[in-house]
Amino acid sequence: MNKTILIIRHEFKRMVTRKLFIILTLAFPLLGLLAIGLSQVFSNISRPATEEKAFGYIDEAGGFGSFTEQEGVSLIPFDTQDSATQALIRGEITEYFVIPEDYLTTGVVFRYTLARELEIPDRTQRVINDFLVSNLLKEKITPQIINRVKAPMQLVTTRLTPTGEIATEQGGPEAFVVPYFFSLLLMLSIFFSAGYLLEGLSEEKENRIMEILLSSVSPTQLLAGKVLGLGASGLIQILVWLVSAPLLLRIASATIGGLISSLQIPTSLVILGVVYFVLGYLLFAILLAGAGAISPTVREGQQLSTIFTLVAASPFWFLPFIIENPGHTIVKAFTVFPLTAPVTVMARLGLADIALWELSLSIALLAVSVAGGLLVIAKVFRIYLLMYGKRPGLGEVIRSLKNA
């Protein structure tokens, strides 16, 4: 036990003193503060007053002479297209449009501009559309109805609990942003910590340092010490992010506002974030340790670890499907499958309620996978840690485990 604790301390100290670890740990809060500061600076920069835009128009159909102020844009009538073109060239108007005689039949409106555009700006379309609608409906209905025709509704949705009360978490894009962002951070931290375990084992094996280590400690003590030491450093990293996130959101909501002011970090996200980091890290650390044990070089170990990385990141490939179908059977399978559970659960927290049985089964399977993986990889350690040469195939590894 004492030797295991020594290894834990050594790996923890070596990890937390790495420059890359310090940079990644502090990058999230520091970049957050930098983004808030830059947004505040840019918002305070004095900008020249924006000149009111002026559109020209030629009314060949007749009856479009009112409502010439739309969204801060003045619409100026012209008698001919030539006079409108000259005004456009002189810069008196930014563009003009022609309402032809057969407009009521065809609905076609011709627009002219000097600007080179990929598509018609949304504001321009709204201005012309509102101008046409207002004039078509004038003297037929009240101004209030005209406004309601242009903007028929502002839909407000309220989520209720199964008991009929107003739910505390209402969902929406702001509810998805934080869990999704933390799913990215969670995966980054897991693979950063587990990746160093793989790299360290492969380097020690390739440089023959492993032979010296195993003369003093058992393979099981070495595995446990490295996994727990690097895991403790990764947990510190996650806790720094979780603690700094509410502070950053509070500062951002006070200075920037908008969507950010509605972002919240649920308590369930913090608790599950820690739980899935611990279990997810232990699982991937054990798997990558096995990859490092059977790989004769660092490069081969990293190539083998790509398989686990791709599987773990696979929920991101199906993210549009997960967003549209959070309760689908495939999404539930991702939730309970140990390799994809950490990322999927974090992403689903912002989309819909996850059934208690799903979370319980997911955590239980992760825990069982960690325990089972530890037993298997401990045997792999004893068999292959001091073996060099060609990397054994899967069949050979299975046969060796059966005979162990």
Domain assignment of residue 37, yes or no: no
Same domain, yes or no: 336 and 298: yes
Q: What is the pLDDT of residue 168?
A: 57
Same domain, yes or no: 188 and 283: yes
Same domain, yes or no: 205 and 107: no
Neighbours of 79 (CB within 10 A): 9
- Which CATH number does the domain housing residue 124 bear? 3.40.190
Q: What is the dihedral of CA 283, 287, 290, 296, to 10 degrees?
A: -140
Same domain, yes or no: 196 and 70: no
Same domain, yes or no: 78 and 190: no
Per-10-residue mean pLDDT, the chain, length 404: 79 82 81 74 54 86 88 91 93 92 89 87 89 83 69 59 61 60 72 70 68 70 78 79 74 60 64 82 80 71 77 82 83 90 81 83 91 80 61 59 56
Domain assignment of residue 162, yes or no: no
Task: Print burial letters for 335-367: b (CB count within 10 Å at least 16), e (below 16).
Answer: bbbbbbbbbbbbbbbbbeebeeebbeebbebbb
Q: Choose among 348, 366, 8: nearest CA to 183.
A: 348
Q: What is the pLDDT of residue 85?
A: 93
Q: What is the pLDDT of residue 49?
A: 45
For the chain, the farthest-separated pair of C-alpha atoms sits apart, in whole angstroms, at 98
Q: Which domain holds residue 265?
A: 171-403
Same domain, yes or no: 112 and 207: no
Same domain, yes or no: 190 and 311: yes
Same domain, yes or no: 264 and 399: yes
Looking at 115, 150, 185, which one is the last position of a domain?
A: 150
Domain assignment of residue 221, yes or no: yes
Domain assignment of residue 38, yes or no: no
User: What is the residue whose two structure tokens read 């054994």?
Assistant: 392
Same domain, yes or no: 145 and 285: no
- Pair 178, 273: CB distance under 8 Å: no
Domain assignment of residue 238, yes or no: yes
**Counted domains in the chain:** 2
Looking at 150, 184, 211, which one is the last position of a domain?
A: 150
Same domain, yes or no: 144 and 206: no
Three-state DSSP class for residue 98:
strand
Q: Choose among 13, 170, 135: nearest CA to 63.
A: 135
Q: Choose among 46, 27, 32, 28: nearest CA to 253.
A: 32
Domain assignment of residue 398, yes or no: yes
Looking at 92, 119, 150, which one is the last position of a domain?
A: 150
The mean pLDDT of the chain is 77
Which residues lie closer than 8 Å to 50 by C-beta, 6 or more apart? none
Domain assignment of residue 22, yes or no: no
Domain assignment of residue 163, yes or no: no
pTM over 0.85: no
Q: What is the pLDDT of residue 58?
A: 94
Same domain, yes or no: 220 and 286: yes
Give the C-alpha distances (Å, rounded to integers) separating 10 from 6, 228, 233, 251: 6, 11, 11, 37
Q: What is the pLDDT of residue 150?
A: 65
